[in-house]
Chain A
Amino acid sequence: MNLVLDPLGYTFFVRALAASVIVGLVCATVGSYMVLRGMAFMGDALSHSAFPGVVAAYLLRVPFYFGASIAAVGTALAIGWVTRQGKLRSDTATGVLFAAMFALGVFMFSLIPNYVGDLFGFLFGEVLGIGLGDLVSLAILAGLVLGTLALLWKELLYATFDPLGAAASGLPVVRLDYLLLALIALTIVISLQSVGIILVVAMLVTPAATAQLISKSFGRLVLIAGTIGTLCPIVGLYCSFWLNSASGATVVLVESSVFLVVLTVTMVVARFRHPSVAPAA
């Protein structure tokens, strides 16, 4: 019995592995911008707002990507717009809108005569059941997100670091903000099947947060986050296969463990470098 090779004999495992790696990479890349902008809460909010879209798509028998994209991108733009009116803080606008959207999803769900197991998959993720068609859609959407970031990485970086300076020098900062929101929403849609609505935020934020502890340049941050985001799903999926545990949660726990280890190591190293806080004369 081979712990590594045996699972690869199953088509569903190979598909799940491909989906998880793509999802991990896209989440970590988009998440790098999110942690620098303090948008972790926004990630959580947008994933919850995709729920009514998923339920609607189920009821209308259309691919869930359509419903989830419309709901998440729509909510992202609505949050951006409400915040820009200046009457409410952005986290307030976010809290109100995402809770309403999630409630709408639960409401619609409760009206379905016979509760369906599929939809629970969207709450907690069920990557092992991903079909070939879904995998292809996922890969295309992932390519779209990563391609956009490849084109606009430096504009987004400037607008993240110094929005005023970037706007004054002519970068369309407001449009870039909306674009990033849309990219986050799309990334969440891509991730729904793998990790589910509740846990997507971990996939987005944890790799980048880990990378932030040990990188001093943006390039390194994205590289390290991307590596963590790609490797952790592989480890997590194997663990899930052998332990027969929930795949999404296992992947998230692997990422969280890496974060914890890196955090501990950096704290120990810092302690060694600056053994005491004795005031220098």
Chain B
Amino acid sequence: MRGSFGRWPLSATADRSPHGAEVALGASAGGPMEAVGAPSPAIRLVGVTAGYGDRVALEHVDLEIPVGALVAVVGPNGGGKSTLLKLIAGVLKPWTGSVEVLGAAAGREAHRVAYVPQAELVDWSFPVNVWNVAMMGRYPRLGPLRQPGRADREAVAAALERVGMLDRARSPIGALSGGQRRRAFLARAMAAEVDLYLLDEPVTGVDVPTQEAIMELLSAEAEKGKAVVATTHDLGAAVKHFKSIVAVNRRIVAAGPAALLTNPDILSQTYGGHLLVLGENLGILDDSHHHDDPAGTERHFHDDQRGGRS
């Protein structure tokens, strides 16, 4: 089954230990996978095992994500979604294997990568406003000696305009709603003018119109040839808004078009006992509030303003 494009749904479901199976995602709009000899991928993981301390979070991961992909990473809490994102971002080094991003070792092309953390990991009482947050996207390219100039202010204004937050530019982040907070961080990523977006739970806990608006923006970026990889708890959102999915549960369970998530076998392999499959494409997760892979250095804050989460 190695590298057998077009047959991955079978390989993911039939093979109960699919590590070693080369999985890759197509960039074409939800259609069938394209041929193997596609241009060099945006992301390539080969034989990757990684974790924290002595705890394994992901093992034997082989994965390719092409340029222009719009990918949802789904899986149970503690299943390795955030770990996968951190490996690609280059902030977590794999124990074994290699992670290649934008044609170089992960972390090497960092100025072309934007990472948006989970809302729970952000200190919303931090004294910065929306403009400040978006401007941070420009810092890495400025370097230590240069201060933000006109080009940076224009890029920040344009990004805030795109996410519809320009009129809230002077608002402290603590005064924003959950959806506005995500959009402020999305503006930071866009102001950075990157080729790869990594987003940890960008649409979790936000209202449907905001969800749609965020996904429209990400979809447009993917169409421009940028790669977008986002983790999500929300299987409905994954099926509806993303072209492809990667299902992880300590290893890659399946990778391919988003419609894979309507396959009960893949769902039960991904979520084990945590998922109740109700119908063709409806499932209920029983683990909606835990945190993925809290590393020792991470701070944990709850977003009190967002109200109840399901």
Q: Which of A95-103, A164-172, A239-247 has 4 or more CB atoms under 8 Å from chain B? A: A164-172
B117 engages A217 (CB within 8 Å) = no
B127 engages A216 (CB within 8 Å) = yes
- Of A155, A165, A215, A216, the residue contacting B115 (CB under 8 A) is A165
Interface residues of B in 86-142 (CB under 8 A from A): 86, 89-91, 107, 110-111, 113-117, 121-123, 126-129, 132-133, 136-137, 139-140, 142
How many residue pairs at the A-B interface have CB separations less than 8 Å? 97
Is A218 at the interface (CB under 8 A from chain B)? yes
Question: A168 to B139, alpha carbons, bound, how many Å?
Answer: 12
Q: Which A-chain residue is minimally distant from B109 (CB atoms)? A: A170
B91 engages A171 (CB within 8 Å) = no
A209 CB, min distance to chain B CBs, angstroms: 12
Question: A87 to B140, alpha carbons, bound, how many Å?
Answer: 31
Q: Which A-chain residue is minimally distant from B121 (CB atoms)? A: A164
Task: Name A's interface SS.
Answer: helix
Question: A151 to B52, alpha carbons, bound, how many Å?
Answer: 34
B128 engages A218 (CB within 8 Å) = yes
Q: Which B-chain residue is minimally distant from A37 (CB atoms)? A: B299
Pick from B107, B110, B198 the residue with the most CB of A within 10 Å. B110
A168 engages B172 (CB within 8 Å) = no
Q: Which B-chain residue is minimally distant from A86 (CB atoms)? A: B53
Q: Which B-chain residue is minimally distant from A35 (CB atoms)? A: B127
B53 contacts across to A, CB distance below 8 A: 86-87
- Of A86, A90, A165, the residue contacting B116 (CB under 8 A) is A165
Question: A2 to B79, alpha carbons, bound, how many Å?
Answer: 72
Q: Which B-chain residue is minimally distant from A151 (CB atoms)? A: B144
Q: Which A-chain residue is minimally distant from B145 (CB atoms)? A: A151
A162 engages B122 (CB within 8 Å) = yes
B136 contacts across to A, CB distance below 8 A: 154, 157-158, 161-162, 165-166
B90 engages A168 (CB within 8 Å) = yes
Q: Which A-chain residue is minimally distant from B123 (CB atoms)? A: A161
B129 engages A217 (CB within 8 Å) = yes
Question: A87 to B111, alpha carbons, bound, how many Å?
Answer: 32
Is A152 at the interface (CB under 8 A from chain B)? yes
A169 contacts across to B, CB distance below 8 A: 110-111, 113-115, 137, 139-140, 192, 194
B126 engages A36 (CB within 8 Å) = yes
Is B296 at the interface (CB under 8 A from chain A)? yes
A213 CB, min distance to chain B CBs, angstroms: 10
Knowing A164-B121, A168-B90 touch, does A217 contact B140 (C-beta < 8 A)?
A: no
Is B297 at the interface (CB under 8 A from chain A)? yes
Interface residues of B in 60-97 (CB under 8 A from A): 86, 89-91
B139 engages A154 (CB within 8 Å) = yes
B144 engages A168 (CB within 8 Å) = no
Q: Which B-chain residue is minimally distant from A87 (CB atoms)? A: B53
Is A191 at the interface (CB under 8 A from chain B)? no
B145 contacts across to A, CB distance below 8 A: 151
B89 engages A168 (CB within 8 Å) = yes
Interface residues of B in 27-52 (CB under 8 A from A): 52
Question: A3 to B110, alpha carbons, bound, how many Å?
Answer: 59
B140 engages A171 (CB within 8 Å) = yes
Is A20 at the interface (CB under 8 A from chain B)? no
B133 contacts across to A, CB distance below 8 A: 161
A234 CB, min distance to chain B CBs, angstroms: 26
Is A271 at the interface (CB under 8 A from chain B)? no
Interface membership of chain B positions 208-249, coded 1 if the CB is closer than 8 angstroms to chain A and 0 otherwise: 000000000000000000000000000000000000000000
- Of A151, A155, A168, A220, the residue contacting B113 (CB under 8 A) is A168
Question: A217 to B129, alpha carbons, bound, how many Å?
Answer: 6
Question: A166 to B91, alpha carbons, bound, how many Å?
Answer: 10
B110 engages A168 (CB within 8 Å) = yes
Pick from A83, A152, A217 the residue with the most CB of B within 10 Å. A217
- What are 25 residue pairs bridging A and B, where the CB atoms are less than 8 Å apart in the complex? A38-B299, A151-B144, A151-B145, A154-B147, A154-B148, A157-B136, A158-B136, A161-B122, A161-B133, A162-B122, A162-B136, A163-B298, A164-B89, A165-B115, A165-B117, A166-B140, A169-B111, A169-B114, A169-B137, A169-B139, A171-B140, A215-B127, A216-B129, A216-B172, A216-B174
Known A154-B142, A155-B139, A166-B140; 8 more pairs at CB < 8 Å:
A36-B127, A87-B53, A162-B136, A164-B115, A165-B115, A169-B111, A170-B113, A216-B174
Binding site for B on A (CB under 8 A): 36, 38, 83, 86-87, 89-90, 151-152, 154-155, 157-158, 161-171, 212, 215-218, 220-221
